[in-house]
């Protein structure tokens, strides 16, 4: 492991991910990138990392992979990976020029599928296939970066980061394997063709609400008049919620995509659509401008987009709270015993509020037990008639409601203000929507649904 001396003083920030920061620099006449992690790694992690890099090193000449040249240690002990500099990424390309043309999307998809097939054959799982890990060399060649599980396990990212590109099983229990890589490939193809993620965020939607929606809602169908039907079916199959419903492996996907050609023919998936992807309905042709060919340098914008927190209001009335669920669900209104009309619900514009509950079959039952008030924290427990993914909606007096994603747990323990009144409800994702419990109060709050 080499020690890099004061990289922060001589290098330029290139980008920042969920865990690591990427810097760029020049060594003599050669430009390079340095991916820095927030801390050191232990001996076991170093051994696993070295093994992954050795396997990936053998793929350099025959696969579209970006492999670290070496592991470095920063003066403060942090781990860093030095690698070839690829300054353009797929999100930057799409942000500047819009969705890719069909030939360009096929070229990228074919390269990524072949890269995953080669890595899987060498015993390496990527573990985080997202558009941000699709980079372009100055020649225009696409490469897949950030392979491996060693550093992902050593520096785990919050699952809410990039959840709209993660496989459902990764969101639920952290599974990362060859089949989650296939889901990531499908999500990248969807992004390249649509210009948005398969589960695009909604106005006013909280992180945990988005997590639950990605587990319960259908992936919108790709809407492009120039899309070969078989390509849409391939993306649908890759994005199947059930890992067993996805293509056999990355090699099979690479074979279906084949070498790039002007008008490919896709017929491998017939007329089958994965159950989680909406079938496109006949509609009037949608005019889409042709994507311009990339030229010149792309502009990367930096800067936080933090929202200001609203100050809690005081008074005898508990404010009406807009408790938006994953699918923009019912508003939880907290009303104290005083006969005073509550404020108007806060519902962000532009979000539809569908009716909760499954569309057919036996109804799914969800029951929340009475909350246990422990002063500065609360204990909740609930039961459902079938296993679901859950969020807890927490509505405090005088403040906006918020949610906590708890996966398939049936209990929750969270900190609360020892003075404020609260209402709680549980929402669960089903295959056709969501269900929710009746709200339950503590400290004599009165809870109603509107």
Tokens representing 186 are: 């499908």
CA angle 387, 393, 395 (to 5 degrees): 160
Helix 178-194 crosses helix 250-257 at what angle (to 10 degrees)? Answer: 30
CB 187 within 8 A of CB 126: no
C-alpha dihedral over 431, 130, 107, 126, to 10 degrees? -100
Instruction: Give 115-180 as a DSSP string.
Output: HHHHHHHTT-------GGGEEE-TTS-EEE----SHHHHHSPPPTTTTGGGS-HHHHHH---SHHH
Which residues partner with 335 through β-bridges? 446
Distance, CA of 143 to CA of 108 (rounded, Å): 9
> Is the pTM higher than 0.75?
no
Domains, the chain:
2-84 (3.30.200.20), 88-257 (1.10.510.10), 332-449 (2.60.40.10)
pLDDT tens-digit profile of 186-209?
999 999 999 998 887 676 677 777
What is the predicted pLDDT for the residue at 450? 59
Nearest to 121 by CA among 189, 186, 56, 51: 56
Q: Which residues of the chain have pLDDT under 50?
A: 3, 6-8, 260-359
Residue with tokens 């994603």: 405
Q: Is the dihedral of CA 146, 152, 155, 159 positive or negative?
A: positive
């Amino acid at each position: 492991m080499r020690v890099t001396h004061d990289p922060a003083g001589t290098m330029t920030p290139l980008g920042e991910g969920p865990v690591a920061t990427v810097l760029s620099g020049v060594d003599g006449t050669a430009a390079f990138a340095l991916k820095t992690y927030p801390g050191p790694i232990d001996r076991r992690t170093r051994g696993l990392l070295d093994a992954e890099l050795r396997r990936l090193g053998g793929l350099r000449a025959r696969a579209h992979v970006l492999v670290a040249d070496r592991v470095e240690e920063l003066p403060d002990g942090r781990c860093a990976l030095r690698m070839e500099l690829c300054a353009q990424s797929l999100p930057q390309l799409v942000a500047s020029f819009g969705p890719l043309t069909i030939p360009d999307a096929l070229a990228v998809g074919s390269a990524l599928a072949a890269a995953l097939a080669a890595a899987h054959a060498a015993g390496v799982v990527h573990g985080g296939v997202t558009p941000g890990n699709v980079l372009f060399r100055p020649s225009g060649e696409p490469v897949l970066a950030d392979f491996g599980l060693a550093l992902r396990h050593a520096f785990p990212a919050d699952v809410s980061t990039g959840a709209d590109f993660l496989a459902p099983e990764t969101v639920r229990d952290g599974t990362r394997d060859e089949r989650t890589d296939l889901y990531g490939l499908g999500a990248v193809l969807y992004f390249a063709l649509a210009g948005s993620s398969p589960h695009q965020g909604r106005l006013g939607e909280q992180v945990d609400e988005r997590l639950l929606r990605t587990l319960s809602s259908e992936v919108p169908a790709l809407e492009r008049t120039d899309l070969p039907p078989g390509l849409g079916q391939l993306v649908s199959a890759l994005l199947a919620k059930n890992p067993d419903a996805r293509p056999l492996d990355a090699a099979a996907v690479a074979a279906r995509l084949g070498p790039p050609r002007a008008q490919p023919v896709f017929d491998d998936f017939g007329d089958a659509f994965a159950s989680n992807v909406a079938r496109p309905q006949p509609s009037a042709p949608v005019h889409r401008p042709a994507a311009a060919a990339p030229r010149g340098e792309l502009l990367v914008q930096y800067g936080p987009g933090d929202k200001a927190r609203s100050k809690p209001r005081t008074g005898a009335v508990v404010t009406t709270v807009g408790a938006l669920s994953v699918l923009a669900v019912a508003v939880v209104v907290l009303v104290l015993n005083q006969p005073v009309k509550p404020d108007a619900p806060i519902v962000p514009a532009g979000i539809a509020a569908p009716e909760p509950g499954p569309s057919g079959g036996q109804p799914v039952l969800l029951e929340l037990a009475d909350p246990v008030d422990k002063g500065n924290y609360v204990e909740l427990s609930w039961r459902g008639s079938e296993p679901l993914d859950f969020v807890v909606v927490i509505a405090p007096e005088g403040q906006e409601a918020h949610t906590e994603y708890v996966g398939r747990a049936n209990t929750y323990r969270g900190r609360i203000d020892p003075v404020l009144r609260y209402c709680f409800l549980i929402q669960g994702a089903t295959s056709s929507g969501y269900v929710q419990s009746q709200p339950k109060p503590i400290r004599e709050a009165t809870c109603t649904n509107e």
